[in-house]
Every structure is written in structure tokens, then in C-alpha cells.
Amino acid sequence: MQTKIFNQEQSIFNRFIAEIRDTSIQNDPMRFRRNIERMGEIMAYEVSKDLIYTDKSVTTPLGIAIEKVPSEEVVIASILRAGLPLHQGVLNYFDRSENAFVSAYRKYNEKGDFDIHIEYISSPSLDGKTVLLCDPMLATGTSIELAYKALLHRGKPKHVHIVSLIASQAGVQYVENMFKDEPATLWLGAVDEELNAKSYIVPGLGDAGDLAYGSKI
């Protein structure tokens, strides 16, 4: 499994990731969502370089041009609800892709511990297709694992690209181990060292779903 980390290079991407972390900017949900969407667009562009391309003849007003275009069938899969702005950014570039959605949430017990529960899945067939699995925060890695296992009921992908904005080092190791024998690539905006007692990434950015769409009860 390959792992690629965007903020290790200098680019405009780093401004967007700085803004989604910034408490003085997080109080603007529209800007928060738009920044995530823009990062999804940048990451989609980079993912596109790893796809297979074929020649296509294009008729212009003056002749025939030969252009290389992606030939793979792509499915964008996202974990609800926090994954929606990232999904939209990726979809802006992979606008001919199919789409899949998985609901995953933390169910807490009286001790404050939690399990990840999957309640809903909507997906086309994934057999032989390229899947871009989007979740803005990769904390423990359990959500990605359960979402992927749920998606496997819809078929076996040819390749899986996991797209996350901020990850913990523990989550990265977990996912790399999970996909060590799979055709997969991990695309990350940044990697933070720590997970706190509630399994939130530190410094991270907080709860991406709440910042994008409002707090929940």
C-alpha cells in the first residue's frame, strides 16, 4: 500500500488545511465546507494521475485531436455525514463517476467507550472498479475498515484510494496494516501524532461533521 501526504510539500493546499483547523475561521460553516471541497478537488486531481488512460479521438472544427482520457470505472464512496463536502470536491473532478454512501457513527456506552456502527449503505456494483473512499478524518481507522467491509458486499474493487484530510499516526498504521495485501493507496492531507482519550485527533480540528453541518444531540 502506498501512502501520500500532501502537506509535506508546499502548495496552496496547506492554506486550506490551516483554515479548517483555525478556530477563528471554523465559525463560518460555509467557508469550512468550501475549503474541504477545494481540498477534495486538489486530491482528486492528484489521484487522477494514478489512473489508466486510453487514447480518444476528438473532432474539432478543424480536424481530429487525439487526447488521453481515463478509462477506468470510478465510484466515489463517502462516509456520512462528515464526508459530504469532501465527496463533492472529488465529484467535481470525477463528474462521470458513480457514487456510494455509508453511514457510520460512534455509539457510546455508559463508560464513555464507543463502537462504530454501520446502519445504511447505498452503492452500485463495485466489481472491477476503482473506488475512492472519502472520510475527512482518519482517527482510529475503524470507520474506514467497517465502511470498506460493508462496501465489499457490493463487489470487489480493482483498486481502492482512501482520501482523508487529517489522520492520526495510529490510524495510518491501522489502515496500512489492513490493506497491506490489497491494491490500495492512502491519500492524506496531514498526519498528526496524537489521539486523545476520546479518540479525537490532536491537534486535528475537532468534529468535522459538526463544523460543516451544525452540532447534534
Model confidence pLDDT, tens digit, residues 52-67: 999 999 999 999 999 9
Whether the per-residue pLDDT at 112 is higher than 90: the answer is no
Q: What tens digit of pLDDT does each residue of 69-108 get? A: 999 999 999 998 889 999 999 999 999 999 999 987 666 5
Helix axis angle, 29-48 to 13-21, nearest 10°: 150
Q: What tens digit of pLDDT does each residue of 1-36 get? A: 899 999 999 999 999 999 999 999 999 999 999 999
Whether the per-residue pLDDT at 113 is higher than 70: the answer is no
- Measured between alpha carbons, how far is 210 from 201 in angstroms, rounded to an integer? 15
Whether the per-residue pLDDT at 111 is higher than 90: the answer is no
Predicted pLDDT at 104: 74
Tell me how far apart the terminal alpha carbons of the chain are, to the nearest angstrom: 38
Helix axis angle, 142-151 to 169-178, nearest 10°: 30
